[in-house]
Chains A and B, each alone.
Chain A
Amino acid sequence: MEGRPPDDVALAERARRGDERAFEELVRMHQDMAFRVAYLLTGSAADAEDAAQSGFVKAWTALPRFRKGAPFRPWLLRIVANEAHNRRRSSSRQEALRLRSSAAHPAEDATLSPEGAALGHEQHEELLTAVLRLDERDREILTCRYFLELSEDEAAAALDVRRGTVKSRTARALVRLRLELES
């Protein structure tokens, strides 16, 4: 698991025992990530805010069942991802994800990273369109692994599947993404 500040575990333990101030600190630390996860999974800022907020409230309720000493972030992401998943199903207000129209891309990337050089803005648009054409399961795993840059362990926790399932689902999603790009 990626290194988190050591106080993450300590705060989670205090919150597990009912300390609201510790939980407030955890919300502050993780709210950006929770919102980003929910936004990338729902494609709607309103749903993302709703899912992240409800995820924190459910996390508080479920904290007594949280395993002592376990990393808090993957556990929280699982709850938030589940909330986002439920909202995505019931919501019709889905906006397409958009690329940042910043002038910084792609020319600067070309000098920073070889892969950036290979893919200009147009190609990124094409790649994004292909990702959005995939079914929800494929999109979900690619979002977790690449857009959110979660480790395999974190993605497994967030999606509540085994690590091996993350590997196989990622591999299958990449194959289908290639097919989309070629079609």
Chain B
Amino acid sequence: MNPLERALTQLGRELEVPAAPDLVPAVLALIKPRRAVRRSRRRWVLALAAAVLAALVATLAIPDARSALFRVLRIGGVQVELVDELPALVPAPAELPLDLALGKATTLEQARRDAGFELRELDTPPDRVYLGERRTVWFLYGAPSKVRLLVAQTPGVAVDPPLILKKLVSPDTRVEEVAVDGARGYFLDGALHFVLLVDDRGQVIEETVRLARNVLVWEVDGVTYRLEGDFARDEALAVAASLRRK
């Protein structure tokens, strides 16, 4: 430690910090009872196993697309599994603060510096920017409580252990192959879908649920792009087309 660092440490010890209030009563009043995680996790693993099985054996009710290709789709780091029935566990949205689920809040300028790859941006700057898991950069338009559009950009660089983003979609969800920027992409439209982060041993390490939101996903030059919002296919494609490197 050099003299300046020692002086800063000393200064820190002399800073006037008000006495910490007792947070225990307020925190306990605000937290909601949670079921034991072990049970919930087992349910997820079972649901995942069921999902894989369903994807293998079921005849899927997907309009115009019953080929095996559509049973498990892989685009960049995203794997979409089509299942007969979605897992029953539906946490209340309020229990999953979107802010926290997306990652650390940052600024657009900072995200450009920290991303490690060249971001694509819309002409309108996002209302909020987050740096999340797997170096995903999230642009949020609207407010966390009322999202108009989410744009996610995930670099394809392998992480250790490798993680796979899985989406479970039900037969009520339409999956349509589309071309975005010369690349193959998919537009997911309709019912609920689940997003799971699964490690290479198949263990669920993070799950989020987004309600009734349509998704466009595609991959270009090793970066996976996802748009999520209440938009129709053509609107999503128009947004994708205006997502450019600055």
Question: Which residues in A have some Cβ–Cβ distance to B below 8 Å?
Answer: 16-18, 20, 23-24, 27-28, 31-32, 34-36, 39-40, 45, 48-49, 52-53, 56-58, 60-65, 67, 78-79, 82, 85-86, 89, 97-102, 105, 109, 113, 115-116, 118-119, 123-124, 127-128, 131, 137, 142-143, 145-149, 159-161, 174, 177-178
- On whether A49 and B17 interact (CB within 8 A), knowing A57-B31, A109-B10, the answer reads no
A146 engages B37 (CB within 8 Å): no
Given A142-B8, A146-B8, check contact A58 B14 (CB 8 Å): no
Q: Is the interface of B mostly helix, strand, loop or mixed?
A: helix
Identify the closest chain B residue to A137 (Cβ): B110
Instruction: Choose among B9, B40, B104 the residue that contacts A160 (Cβ–Cβ < 8 A).
Output: B104
Q: A48 vs B35: C-alpha distance in the bound complex, in angstroms?
A: 30
Asked whether B159 is an interface residue with its Cβ less than 8 Å from the other chain, the reply is no
**Category for how many chain B residues contact A:** 35 or more
Contact A24 B24 (CB under 8 A): yes
The CA-CA distance from A85 to B36 in the complex, in Å, is 31
A86 to B144, CA, bound (A): 13
Tell whether, in the assembled complex, residue A39 and residue B18 are in contact, meaning their CB atoms are under 8 Å apart. Answer: yes
Pair A20/B28 contact, Cβ less than 8 Å: yes
User: Interface centre among B21, B38, B206, by most A CB within 10 Å?
Assistant: B21
B146 within 8 A of A: no
Are B37 and A64 neighbours in the complex by a CB distance under 8 Å? yes
Q: How far is the CB of B165 from chain A (nearest CB, A)?
A: 15
Q: Identify the 4 closest CB pairs spanning chains A and B, nearest first.
A: A147-B12, A146-B8, A35-B20, A115-B6
B188 contacts the other chain (CB 8 A): no
The contact of B95 among A61, A98, A99, by CB within 8 Å, is A61
- Closest Cβ of chain A to B139, distance in Å, is 17
| B179 lies within 8 A of chain A by Cβ | no
Bound CA–CA A64/B91 (angstroms): 12
Q: How far is the CA of A28 from the CA of B8 in the complex (A)?
A: 28
Residue pair A61, B4 in contact (C-beta under 8 Å): no
Which residues of chain B are near A24, meaning CB under 8 Å? Answer: 24, 27-28
Q: Are B205 and A82 in contact (CB under 8 A)?
A: no
Residue of A with least CB distance to B205: A65
Contact check, B23 vs A53: say whether CB atoms are below 8 A apart. Answer: yes
Complex contacts, A178 vs chain B, CB 8 Å: 4
Expressed in whole angstroms, the minimum distance between the Cβ of A105 and any Cβ of chain B is: 6
B64-117 contacts to A, CB under 8 A, are: 95-97, 99-100, 103-105, 110, 114
User: A63-B37, A113-B10 given as contacts; is B100 within 8 A of A27 (CB)?
Assistant: no
